[in-house]
Amino acid sequence: MKKIFVICSKAVYKDIPQIKEKLEENGWNVFLPHTYQNPNAENE
């Protein structure tokens, strides 16, 4: 299985769902930044 970790700035988090979907359609197992689900995690 192909694996990929998506690294990006918070400014493009809005684009992640589309990117993740396309990668998964092409056989990738996608891992996202831990702050994707909780963007304020760095401040906690």
Number of structural domains in the chain:
1
The β-bridge partners of 6 are none
The neighbour count for residue 44, using CB atoms within 10 Å, is 5
Q: Is residue 15 part of a domain?
A: yes
Q: How far apart are CA 20 and CA 41, in angstroms?
A: 21
Whole-structure pTM value? 0.74
Does the residue 43 lie in any domain?
no
pLDDT of residue 35: 77
pLDDT in the model for residue 38: 74
Which residues form the domain of 31?
A: 2-37
CB 32, CB 20: distance < 8 Å: yes
Q: Can you tell me which residue has the tokens 């994707």?
A: 36
Which residues, given as ranges, of the chain have pLDDT below 50? none
